[in-house]
Amino acid sequence: MLAALHNELILRKDYLQQQVIESIYFGGGTPSVLSTKEINEILDQIYTHFEVAPSVEITLEANPDDLTKEKVNELRTSPINRFSIGIQSFFEEDLRWMNRAHNASEAESSIKRVQDSGLENITADLIYGYPLLSNDKWKSNIQQMVDLHIPHLSAYSMTIEPQTALDSFIRKGIQTPMNEGQSADQFIMLMSMVTDNGFEQYEISNFARESMYSKHNTNYWKGVPYLGIGPSAHSFNGISRQWNIANNHKYIASIIQNEVPAENEVLSETDKFNEYIMTSLRTKWGMDLDYLERNFPEEFWIEMQEGLADNVSRGYIEKTGSIITLTTEGKLLADAIASELFVTS
């Protein structure tokens, strides 16, 4: 697999057309199983074939149970300068229900170990909106994140993927279904508590202290092109989207033959318009009407006007100059509002 990743980086060295790399993100699966030597070798390959910014953000996703003292000390000798830790909850019964490998003690101690190693640039994930999570437990989870003084927090509502064990248990009545009202209430609690404690909500699910925005997240939501390497990895170059085959064996076999096993979709003007709406509305920077007017056909603009006016009147979006942003109420309905503004031309 590692040899294939190295080879794909060479095969796709021209994909970003000399774009300066601002973020390198080791994610998907469990990249924290890599040794520092293996991480450094991948980074060497990136630096060899791409132009990398001196201030590049290099993030490693890690499960709390992987971040032993020895592992953290080893990783600190690498260029990794940001950790993304999948905490999810600080409650033992919730972690067991989610079938997580770590326990509540490891959830807290993993963050402290990284901080003790001298690295403060940490983001951690929480999940809300599932049956076991009372409002009191949710407030406790948020407060624990605040008390740990991490600079970045991501929080996501529990979703049920089709054909998973949890999906089957819910359909059979073994597990309680997700409750949209609970999820909405806990999202409102989240927004209130973290902003009261010095975090800024710069994207629907992402909160940062003192402008410690993730370059990785920010560039994604601003539509900056990116290259994904490995099985299932997605890429975007501003013109088309590309996604690699998910099967590990087939991926490796194809890369050995110097062929990238990927499907490609060229984006139409309608696709680009709708994707800009979907991504920009989720951010604090909002959707720029002047940008849409300059870069897309007039009929797109005309078709969007009714949905725009309706959502302003309902108090879901607000207009400041040419910038459209979601209100607090609108953030609860972000996807639905975006879809109302999509064009079908």
Determine the Cα–Cα distance for residues 47 and 116; give it in Å rounded to an integer: 29
- At 101, list the tokens: 């490998």
Residue 188 has pLDDT above 60, yes or no: yes
Q: 345: number of CA atoms within 13 Å, CB side?
A: 16
To the question of domain 269-341 being in CATH 3.40.50.720, the answer is: no
E strands of the chain, at which residues? 21-26, 52-62, 82-88, 122-128, 152-157, 199-203, 206-209, 234-236, 240-244, 262-266, 287-288, 317-320, 323-326
At residue 71, what is the residue type?
K
Q: Tell me what pLDDT residue 178 has.
A: 63
CATH 1.10.10.920 range(s) for the chain read 269-341
% of residues, the chain, pLDDT over 90 = 88
Statement: the pTM of the whole predicted model exceeds 0.75: yes
CA 266-270-272 angle, to 5 degrees, is 60
Residue 210 has pLDDT above 70, yes or no: yes
Helix (H) or strand (E) holding 181: helix 180-196
Pick the CATH number of 20-221 from 3.30.420.10, 3.30.750.200, 3.40.1080.10, 3.40.710.10: 3.30.750.200
Determine the Cα–Cα distance for residues 46 and 162; give it in Å rounded to an integer: 36
Q: What phi and psi, each to the nearest 5 degrees, are found at residue 194?
A: -75, -35
Reported as a pLDDT band with limits 50, 70 and 90, residue 165 is low
pLDDT tens per residue across span 277-293 = 999 999 999 999 999 99
CATH 3.30.750.200 range(s) for the chain read 20-221
Q: Tell me what pLDDT residue 183 has.
A: 94
